[in-house]
Amino acid sequence: MRYSSIDILRTLAIFVMVVVHFCENLAGYTPPIAGFGAPLFMLLSGVSYRLWLNGQLSRNTRETQISKVTIRRGLFLFGLGFAFNILIWLPEDTFNWDVLTLIGSGLITLNIARRLPPPLILLFCGTVYVISPLARSIAQWPTYWQDGYFDPDWTLADVLQGFLVVGYFPVLPWIIFPLAGYVAGTAVFGQSREQQPAIARIIRSVWIGLGLIAVSGAMVATRAIFPQWFPNDWPAIWTMFPPSAEYVLGMLGVGIVGFCGGYLLLDIPTTVERFRTLKPFAVTLSRYSLSAYILHHIAHVWPLWIYAISTGQDTTFYWQQATTVPVAIALACVYFVLSFLLFRWIEQNQWPTLESVMRWVCD
């Protein structure tokens, strides 16, 4: 069974990432919506794992088989993340630690977390949240970033530091999002397919998400009004690289409210017919979200490299100066529509995608 709340939220996350990346990489402009796509994408990976796990449990799949499939899928995504870095960003950026490597790590972590009660998972998330700024300070995060880009040396120490603390999406603190998504999914869907969603529990989750947003807002206001209270080397109030405390807490709240609130709005029986015209579009892009994530980079980054080489320039010559902001936004919207049509055609003709390859290799 597909849930409109998940499909629409994942489609929104993909749309945000497409627009942001087209604007940043083609026109050198960072839209205000930057930073909203990746956290939702990660959180929904935890929600989806809860749904997949419920399906396995309803079929009485053995624990060992569940673990094997989970770990294989995690390793598949982890390896895909490396291939993505090499093929899209060129070999020197192999160890960037992108969203895909984080989601792969998250799946492997969820294989352990699924055996734990939700309060213990939340305690672990709280601990990660608290220690992440300290770990970043100890690792000297600014020394790994040059002109806004992660630039490590190819040494074992730097590779491990990037994976754990200082990369684009290191384990600390980003692992919180798939774990929080798994707990939110458990709150909505229970711990088996037969268990009916409890509306009171879902509403409570929405209030928890709103509380996180409120606390984040209070933290932002405090830092803005009393900047002298905080060390000068702290990240900006709302920043993704590095993820500030306010940003992490706020995006967790946004993700939880978006998912749980979306379920109440879209998926309970009395509201199932809402947004009917949007659902086919959202279902397709959500079903192929992994492929869409890879493809949108190919669609706008490879032409930059190829055209630069064809004109005798360095590969990055047109980086962030290839076009204007309005044209970049228009290209993003055109890509979004064309990718929908492409995935519908692939679906009708049963062509392989990254999703089907992962199931064939790992399941």
Residue 318 tokens read as 């047109």
Residue 47 tokens read as 């929600």
**What's the CA dihedral at 160, 161, 164, 169 to 10 degrees?**
-110
Q: In the chain, where does DSSP find H-type helix?
A: 4-27, 37-58, 63-89, 99-113, 118-139, 156-161, 171-174, 176-189, 199-225, 245-266, 279-287, 289-310, 325-349, 354-362
Q: What is the DSSP string of 63-87?
A: HHHHHHHHHHHHHHHHHHHHHHHHH
Burial status of residue 224 (CB atoms within 10 A of its CB: 0-12, 13-18, 19 or more)? exposed
Evaluate whether 43 touches 181 at the Cβ level (below 8 Å): yes
What is the C-alpha to C-alpha distance for residues 94 and 72, in angstroms, rounded to an integer?
Answer: 21
What are the extents of the domains in the chain?
4-362
Long-range contacts of 320-326 (CB under 8 A, 24+ apart): 320/24, 320/25, 320/26, 320/27, 320/28, 321/27, 321/28, 322/26, 322/27, 323/26, 323/27, 324/27, 325/23, 325/27, 325/29
What's the predicted TM-score (pTM) here? Answer: 0.94
Ordered mean pLDDT values, 10 residues apiece, the chain (363 residues): 88 96 95 94 96 92 96 97 91 91 97 95 96 93 88 91 96 97 93 71 93 96 88 83 95 96 81 66 93 95 91 87 95 94 93 95 93
